[in-house]
Structure 1
Amino acid sequence: MPEHAQTTQGRLRGVNLAMIIPPLALVGAILVAVDARSWGEGVLLTLGVVAALVVIERWTAGDTSRVALPCLIITAAVWLLGVLVTDSHTAFYGITIVGPYFISQLSRSRRLAATVVLSTFVAAVGAAKLLESPDDVSGVLLLYVILPTGIMVLATGLMFANQRFYEVIERSREREAELAVIRERVRFASDLHDIQGHTLHVVKLKITLAEKLLRSDTERVEEELREVRALVSDTITQTKELAYAQRRLNLSAEIENAKNLFEAAGIRVRVNREADPDERVNGLLGQVLRETTTNILRHAQATQVRITLSESGITIVNDGAPAAPLPELSGLATLKERVSDDGGELTVEQEDGRFVTAAEFPAPRTAKPLPRAGAGAEAGTREDDR
């Protein structure tokens, strides 16, 4: 049984232990006090109650296999002696508790037969009281046959229902675990697509540029090839980090990477840095920017791109969106689910040749201004034309 199923079942049985044993022990004590007319009868009836409580306690621990049969024999003997020797009609109490637990340990094909046999035994022992009291047929049938047998059948039915309940809970938890595994596989596949799909497209772009410059600017070609080599090496590193669950994108690095790619493709870039986004969603915003950058390079004929950072998220706007509907962007669809899971919202709009991708999260209480020193920071207020 899976560990999570055992944990759930253990908790449920722990609740049952706290809820069932006290009332059953109380009822057993009352029956002993009311029905026992001597110390011997009291000891006999108490033995049946104790055997029942032992089985229940072991059941809460998930291990009744070693005690079910001995306790069943004890309670059966208590019922037999109670009817034929001590005239105790409450002696059936123990066997009506132990019997259903014993039956539950059997295979499904044997449970019905065991229920019939055990109920017949209880009824037959009770009916034997007629040999001693032939004049009180109705009383004997009620107290020694109908009542014990009815309780036995009812308790067995409740035990089957209880087991069915546990099986449903366990299956539910197993399905949850399977869904979690599937979601993790989808996440891994999406991350792998983000890394390698993005890299392959950029490599294609740079090699195409290198081919155009092969005869006119060999130094630029060498530079492009060095960048391709560095990009492939970085992708290998990121893939390893992904495999070992160590990958985390850096938004600032993704902004610089996006700028370089757009500039290499002849697209003007403007980065407006209004404030630092919450550090908690930094990596996720980096994924949104990376996926959007790849989509712009693949699907748009953009001439300019504007990237805006705010304390609540990121917005990327590009022109050159085709008039026809864009193909399904599966990467953004997956990211939309991730953003939603983190309490944010990812929106995608296409209108009048402009394509807008925006990821917004609840704004933090305080916004930390982004340092503006250096050329990278000044990119927030300037337009690059290349």
Structure 2
Amino acid sequence: MTRPRPDAAVDRPPPTTRRRVRRWNLVALALPLGVVGAALVATQARTWWDGLVLGAGLLAALVVLERWTADDFSRVATAGLAVTAAVWPYGALVGDSATAFYGLAVAGPLAVPRLSAHRRAAAAALTAYVAAAGAARLLRPHQDSVAVLVEYVLLPTSVVLVAIGFNFANHAFYRIMEQGRQQEAELAVYRERVRFAGDLHDIQGHTLHVVKLKVALAERLVRSDAARAERELREVRDLVGDTIARTRELAHAQRRLNLSVELENAKNLFEAAGIEVAVDRDGEAGHDLDERIGGLLGQVLRETTTNILRHSRATRVRLTLTATGIGIVNDGTPDGPRPALGGLAALRERIAAEGGELTADQRHGEFRTAAAFPRQPADRARRQEEAP
């Protein structure tokens, strides 16, 4: 698939809701939490070693928070929690830092609501750990018990409990957003089905009405004008045969589609489902394709669009139209074996019969579908040379 030229037209839609929320979280959460954490490290660290340890806890917490905003929390959760959990007892027993729990108070509450089960037990365990590590300060000699309980136990556990409650509410909000996105995707698929039903009605509705009239006419003529009645019935047979063929084409997605219309329709469906979509055109790509080739590419686009809406959790889709074909790349593909191609498998044979190639590849969380007809430009040039 060729890269678009610098002058290629690129459609850039506005950011989706998901990306706006990510940016909001980075500005409203990560930035102030990072500033507060840096100030605490600067004021609490008494030696360079203290600064190194407390800074490591803050950095781990911010990495976890940044990955959480990108919905990529699981990759860094374990390491981030381990680092921040180790910094707190160091601060309580060695570093004389009552705020060393800060990193754990950021990273821990992010993890608890995302557990598939035992979230309450995990919240209780996190709170108990923070309290126990702080209470270990009492093991040091010459400690004011009341001050230790307030600074190292009561205050840290209260902060962690508030943070856990906030993140449970935040997690519920994200779940509602995800449910809304799924409903939008289902609505987009429903609209596509309605369009299919409209195409089917256009094919069969008029035909059935004409057949009814012609059969009624043949009934009246069968005794008075048998020859004309026979002619009417032959026309009915031909009409029904043509309708069957057109219906079969529609059922197997074999009707020639307008590629430009399908491109616009796919873009609208993705945006309706809250998916960011970018359309790249390589110059005049798609405008001079053979009608049959353009129809096949339109079918590939329609089938891939349906697969993305039904079977992925895509947030971004890129559609690239070149002089020889089309490419579709989407994220949100779960790890594991590549899913069955479904309707694309049947299209692969038809594209191969026309001298093209259909490929589908899944890697690094992305699914790539491409259909190309490399002989198309050469065939077009030859036709132009043969033209009088």
Say whether the 8 Å CA contact 1:9–1:170 is kept in structure 2. no
1:233 aligns to 2:245 (yes or no): no
- For residues 174 and 221 of structure 1, what CA distance do their matches in structure 2 show? 56
Are 2:238 and 1:202 aligned?
A: no
Q: How does 1:37-48 map to 2 (within 5 A)?
A: 37-48=46-57
**Partner residue in 1 for 2:277:** none
- 1:116 corresponds to which residue? 124
- Bigger RCO (CA 8 Å, 6+ sep): 2
Match of 1:214 in 2: 222
**Letter of the structure 2 residue corresponding to residue 221 of structure 1:** A
CA distance in 2, matches of 1:9, 1:37: 42
Residue of structure 1 aligned with 2:111, choices 102, 109, 123: 102
- Matched residue SS, 2:100: helix
In the alignment, the residues of structure 1 paired with residue 202 and residue 119 of structure 2 have an alpha-carbon distance, to the nearest angstrom, of: 55
Match of 1:23 in 2: 32
Query: 1:90 is paired with a residue of what secondary structure?
Result: coil
Deviations 1:72-127 (A, max 9, x none): 2221221111111110111111111121233234332x221121122112112222
- Aligned pairs for 1:310-329 (under 5 A) are none
Tell me how far 1:206 sits from its aligned partner. Answer: 0.7
Counterpart residue number, 2:76: 67
Alignment of 1:4-19 (within 5 A): 12-13=21-22, 15-19=24-28
- Whichever residue aligns with residue 58 of structure 2, its letter is V
Once residues 105 and 196 of structure 1 are traced to their aligned partners in structure 2, the CA distance between those partners, rounded to angstroms, is: 51
2:184 pairs, out of 167, 176, 180, with 176
What's 2:100 paired with? Answer: 91
CA apart distance, 1:133: 7.0
Residue aligning to 1:157: 165
Q: Which runs of 5+ in 1 are unaligned?
A: 1-6, 249-386
**What one-letter code is carried by the residue in structure 2 that aligns with 1:122?**
V
Q: Deviation string for 1:234-274 (max 9, x for gaps)?
A: 323442454338489xxxxxxxxxxxxxxxxxxxxxxxxxx
Please tell me whether the aligned partners of residues 114 and 171 of structure 2 are also in contact (alpha carbons under 8 angstroms).
no
1:24 deviates by: 1.8
Amino acid at match of 1:148: P
RMSD between aligned residues: 2.8
User: How do 1:242-261 and structure 2 match up within 5 A?
Assistant: 242-243=250-251, 244=253, 246=255
TM-score when scaled to structure 2?
Answer: 0.55
CA distance in 2, matches of 1:63, 1:187: 36
Q: Structure 1 residues 197 and 124 mapped into 2: Cα distance closer, same or farther (>3 Å)?
A: same
1:32·1:46 contact (CA, 8 Å) conserved in 2? yes
How many pairs were matched up? 241
CA distance in 2, matches of 1:197, 1:64: 53
Any idea what the Cα deviations from partners look like across 1:44-86, whole Å, max 9, x if unmatched?
Answer: 2101101101212222343333432222222122111111111
Q: The residue matched to 1:91 in structure 2 has which SS?
A: coil
- 2:58 corresponds to: 49
In structure 2, C-alpha distance between the alignment counterparts of 1:77 and 1:22, rounded to whole Å: 24
Which residue does the alignment assign to 2:292? none
Pair 1:89–1:245, CA change in 2 (3 A):
farther
Question: What is the CA–CA distance in structure 2 between the aligned matches of 1:148 and 1:30, rounded to whole Å?
Answer: 17
The percent of aligned pairs where both chains have the same amino acid is: 57
Q: 2:151 aligns with which of 122, 143, 156?
A: 143
Cα shift at 1:30? 0.9
- Residue 159 of structure 1 and its aligned partner are, at CA, apart by 1.7
Amino acid at match of 2:138: L
Q: Distance in 2 between matches of 1:24 and 1:143?
A: 20
- Structure 2: which 5+ residue stretches go unaligned? 1-15, 258-388
Cα pair distance change 1:72/1:227, threshold 3 Å:
same
Larger Rg: 1
The CA distance in 2 between the partners of 1:135 and 1:237, in whole Å, is 90
